Chain A
Amino acid sequence: MVPITVENLSKLYYLGLAKKHNSLRDLLSSFASSIGTSSKKKELWALNDISFQVNEGDTLGIIGKNGAGKSTLLKIFSRITKPTKGKAFIRGRVGSLLEVGTGFHNELSGRENIYMSGAIMGMKHREIDRKFDEIVAFAEVENFLDTAVKHYSSGMFMRLAFSVAAHLEPEILIVDEVLAVGDITFQRKCLNKMHDISDHGRTVLFVSHNMQSVASLCTRAIWLDKGNIREDGPAPDVVGSYLNAEANLGNERVWSDHDSPGDEIIKLRKIRVFSDEQQTEASFDIRRSISLEMAYEVLTPGKIFSPAFHLYNDEGICLFATNDVTQQWRTRPREKGIYTSRVEIPANLLAEGRFYVTAAAFSPLNHETYFLERDTIAFSVYDPLEGDSARGDFAGVMIGAVRPLLNWETDYRQER
């Protein structure tokens, strides 16, 4: 049984519809003026004939710029708005974390709000009774159950709201940026809950602007662009190509004769990033090694030089510079021809994030630089949170420009 099937779904908005006849008076006056002239409304297809299926147990990330149609798609799934054309079949209950706390009222107590918001999400009274203790324990509000939520701290409020939504146990769960709230322990709980839901064969739809979390949490991602599906595939790949398109950078770059960096001695021809499988990729598992490769052409023979890479992160910090120091080429004058040099960045060294590659060729002896090209390609690194990276079981924000997996040793001596 496929939980979600989308067939040729389209949604048309008329821009300015909400504003055009905001009052009866406007309606009357525009009605009077529209006699004889055909009214022209500006159309916007928020979703344009999209089709896909989501399978049981999938955690589907939906990414794209603002206005790409992400929220329209989610609104259609949660039946808030209807499509203009096409159909969607949804099997089972849809739990939306689009906006947790919907239906909460400040004057009501925590206990009352649990029942209220449960009912809004379609839970039966008996069902809430059964899960009540669990909800309360998850939210850690045992002592404040009969206090009006207006006296809650914002953290308590969020926890309670999320807890009710998380215990709905829907067949399909929509999660929209909720991970941005709460402290780290609570975030950890939320992540576990999401895993739990997908492990039970349910479907999670995850919308976030945090590409790192999409890459690490989702099995699959759909990239929406102006109402169309631009790419659909494994989450890390889709996230990678999305980020590269955003930055206008690829994971591979080839230069033609007339625009290639360099001089009459050496010219840069091609640069790419890949992992074990020799296939160019945009996104890498933190536990895999990553290779950078550049191809360059020597036009004038006899020079001694070294190819080099500099790696920058999102904040513009240079993490390291590396150049070819192998004996093979270190002192050997180069013949004319095309060379391909590659360097391997070990697994478990880089932190999660985006990396920008600068490629250079220089002579270590006379400090002459033949070319130095900044931001040639970019790639991202994600952590699948499976416990065997440098994170261990920690799911919060990890600081540090690099994240090496280091050896730890602990000695213990019993206190006498």
Chain B
Amino acid sequence: MRELTDKPLLVEIKPGRKWLNFDLGELWTYRELIYFLTWREIKIRYKQTAIGVFWAILQPVLTTVIFTAIFSSFARFGSTPIPYEMFALSGLLIWLYVNTAVSNASASLIVNTQLVTKVYIPRLILPLAMILSGLADLLIGLLVLSLVLPFYPVHIGWQALLAPIFVIEAVFLALSVGILSSALNVRFRDVKHALPFFLQVWMFMSPVFYPVEMLPDKWRWMFSFNPLYGLLQGFRASILGGPFHWRAIAMSLFVTFCLLVFSLFIFKKMEEDFADII
């Protein structure tokens, strides 16, 4: 009790006029809450589903099996030296993470209305906790991947050390899209309906289950604006072996960064009205 009264913090409350003030320092002071909310999400998710953790494995594995069954018999992506199962599984793990994290983050403000209208916490924490809690599934998936990988003739070398970079990029990418859609979702309720469609289109426009080499050259330039292209390319190159497309990776990192800054900006702009319009 004393330690609190010794140095009471003076807070000035005034109309928000500062542009590009992301208050990232404030997030740090709330780090325990970020941890708690993330942990709460993980706990509730695994508590409420009957098969719990198993679900995290089932979804990517089953999808991989289906894709493999379909694409290895109908369409042949014979040009890749990597086994298709591993190609699909690695892509799906990242994609399912981005997809789930973005969907959950998008709803985070609406679902936790009380935390927006009844108390003050930096609102960014809510989508952030969703993005972080999704990592639990991804880590379980990656564990499965690392267990089955030795059974395939892929060369794992020093490149594997680069894999975390792409996982982290996926987190930031999901964060950018997640916070943007969460803010829009407060304002425009039809975002909820538009988002699944957008995510589906995004998946088909990304080399999640097909190699980009399959497409005609004249279309490939479109991929360079899709941050998932460089991300997936780099991720696969690091865990399955193969050449890195450094230009695509750099572009992907750059686009992700720009998207993050843009989303933070929009979120902060819209945040002031959240409590009044939610």
> Is the beta-carbon distance between B44 and A108 smaller than 8 angstroms?
yes
Inter-chain contacts of B191 with A (CB < 8 A): 24
User: Which residues of A from 86 to 118 have beta carbons under 8 Å from B?
Assistant: 86-94, 96, 98-99, 102-103, 105, 107-108, 112, 115-116
Q: Is A119 an interface residue (CB 8 A)?
A: yes
Taking A91-B10, A93-B9 as contacts, is the C-beta distance between A120 and B276 under 8 angstroms? no
Interface stretch of the complex, out of A72-80, A215-223, A371-379: A72-80
Q: Is B120 an interface residue (CB 8 A)?
A: yes
> Is the beta-carbon distance between B117 and A80 smaller than 8 angstroms?
yes
A-B contact pairs, 5 of them (CB 8 A): A89-B10, A102-B119, A119-B37, A171-B4, A171-B8
Interface stretch of the complex, out of B12-20, B74-82, B149-157, B230-238: B12-20
Report B's interface with A, CB cutoff 8 A: 1, 4-5, 8-16, 30, 32-33, 36-37, 40, 43-44, 47-48, 114-121, 187-191, 194, 272-273, 275-277
Excluding A24-B194, A77-B13, A105-B44, 18 further A-B contacts by CB distance (< 8 Å) are A1-B8, A3-B8, A21-B187, A21-B188, A24-B188, A82-B272, A85-B15, A90-B13, A91-B9, A92-B4, A92-B9, A102-B115, A102-B119, A103-B114, A105-B40, A107-B48, A112-B40, A119-B36
> Is the beta-carbon distance between B119 and A86 smaller than 8 angstroms?
no
Inter-chain contacts of B1 with A (CB < 8 A): 169
Q: Is A180 an interface residue (CB 8 A)?
A: no
> Is the beta-carbon distance between B115 and A120 smaller than 8 angstroms?
yes
Q: Give B7 Cβ to nearest chain A Cβ, in Å.
A: 9
Inter-chain contacts of A120 with B (CB < 8 A): 33, 115, 119, 121
> Is the beta-carbon distance between A107 and B36 smaller than 8 angstroms?
no
Q: Give B73 Cβ to nearest chain A Cβ, in Å.
A: 41
Q: Give B156 Cβ to nearest chain A Cβ, in Å.
A: 39
Task: Give the interface SS of chain B, mostly helix, strand, loop or mixed.
Answer: helix
Q: Is A394 an interface residue (CB 8 A)?
A: no
For B122, the closest partner residue in chain A by CB is A79
For A223-234 the 0/1 string (1 means CB < 8 A from B) is 000000000000
Taking A23-B190, A103-B114, A120-B115 as contacts, is the C-beta distance between A93 and B8 under 8 angstroms? yes
Taking A80-B117, A103-B119, A107-B44 as contacts, is the C-beta distance between A17 and B12 under 8 angstroms? no
Q: Give A94 Cβ to nearest chain B Cβ, in Å.
A: 8
Inter-chain contacts of B10 with A (CB < 8 A): 89-91
Residue in B32, B47, B117 with the greatest tally of chain A CB atoms within 10 Å: B32
Inter-chain contacts of A184 with B (CB < 8 A): none
Q: Give B256 Cβ to nearest chain A Cβ, in Å.
A: 25
Inter-chain contacts of A169 with B (CB < 8 A): 1, 4
> Is the beta-carbon distance between A18 and B277 smaller than 8 angstroms?
yes
> Is the beta-carbon distance between A88 and B36 smaller than 8 angstroms?
no
Inter-chain contacts of B15 with A (CB < 8 A): 82-85
Q: Give A70 Cβ to nearest chain B Cβ, in Å.
A: 15
> Is the beta-carbon distance between B115 and A103 smaller than 8 angstroms?
yes
For B8, the closest partner residue in chain A by CB is A92
Contact of B40 among A75, A84, A94, A116 (CB under 8 A): A116
Q: Give A318 Cβ to nearest chain B Cβ, in Å.
A: 45
> Is the beta-carbon distance between B114 and A99 smaller than 8 angstroms?
yes
> Is the beta-carbon distance between A88 and B13 smaller than 8 angstroms?
yes
In whole angstroms, how far apart are the Cα atoms of A17 and B276 in the complex? 9
Q: Give B91 Cβ to nearest chain A Cβ, in Å.
A: 31
In whole angstroms, how far apart are the Cα atoms of A13 and B116 in the complex? 18
For B12, the closest partner residue in chain A by CB is A89
For A14, the closest partner residue in chain B by CB is B276
In whole angstroms, how far apart are the Cα atoms of A13 and B32 in the complex? 34
Q: Is A193 an interface residue (CB 8 A)?
A: no
Q: Is A125 an interface residue (CB 8 A)?
A: yes
Residue in B30, B33, B115 with the greatest tally of chain A CB atoms within 10 Å: B33
Taking A23-B190, A120-B115 as contacts, is the C-beta distance between A89 and B11 under 8 angstroms? yes
In whole angstroms, how far apart are the Cα atoms of A398 and B273 in the complex? 44
Q: Is A124 an interface residue (CB 8 A)?
A: yes
Q: Is A367 an interface residue (CB 8 A)?
A: no
Q: Give A169 Cβ to nearest chain B Cβ, in Å.
A: 5
Contact of B276 among A18, A92, A108 (CB under 8 A): A18
Q: Is A121 an interface residue (CB 8 A)?
A: yes
Query: Top 8 nearest A-B pairs by Cβ distance?
Result: A92-B8, A79-B120, A23-B190, A99-B118, A88-B13, A119-B33, A18-B277, A119-B36
> Is the beta-carbon distance between A108 and B188 smaller than 8 angstroms?
no
For A205-249 the 0/1 string (1 means CB < 8 A from B) is 000000000000000000000000000000000000000000000
User: Which residues of A from 7 to 38 have beta carbons under 8 Å from B?
Assistant: 13, 17-18, 21-25, 27
In whole angstroms, how far apart are the Cα atoms of A93 and B33 in the complex? 16
Inter-chain contacts of B114 with A (CB < 8 A): 99, 102-103
> Is the beta-carbon distance between A78 and B32 smaller than 8 angstroms?
no
> Is the beta-carbon distance between A107 and B190 smaller than 8 angstroms?
no
In whole angstroms, how far apart are the Cα atoms of A92 and B36 in the complex? 23
> Is the beta-carbon distance between B276 and A13 smaller than 8 angstroms?
yes
Inter-chain contacts of B121 with A (CB < 8 A): 120
For A100, the closest partner residue in chain B by CB is B118
User: Which residues of A from 147 to 172 have beta carbons under 8 Å from B?
Assistant: 169, 171
In whole angstroms, how far apart are the Cα atoms of A298 and B124 in the complex? 76
For A42-65 the 0/1 string (1 means CB < 8 A from B) is 000000000000000000000000
Q: Is A81 an interface residue (CB 8 A)?
A: yes
For B10, the closest partner residue in chain A by CB is A91
Q: Give A150 Cβ to nearest chain B Cβ, in Å.
A: 11
Inter-chain contacts of B47 with A (CB < 8 A): 107
Residue in B4, B13, B44 with the greatest tally of chain A CB atoms within 10 Å: B13
Inter-chain contacts of A98 with B (CB < 8 A): 118-119
> Is the beta-carbon distance between A22 and B188 smaller than 8 angstroms?
yes
Inter-chain contacts of A22 with B (CB < 8 A): 188-189
Taking A80-B117, A82-B14, A121-B119 as contacts, is the C-beta distance between A91 and B4 under 8 angstroms? no
In whole angstroms, how far apart are the Cα atoms of A94 and B117 in the complex? 15
Q: Give A1 Cβ to nearest chain B Cβ, in Å.
A: 8
Inter-chain contacts of A88 with B (CB < 8 A): 12-14
Residue in A90, A96, A103, A121 with the greatest tally of chain B CB atoms within 10 Å: A103
Inter-chain contacts of B272 with A (CB < 8 A): 81-82
For A72, the closest partner residue in chain B by CB is B276
Inter-chain contacts of B5 with A (CB < 8 A): 92, 171
Q: Give B20 Cβ to nearest chain A Cβ, in Å.
A: 17
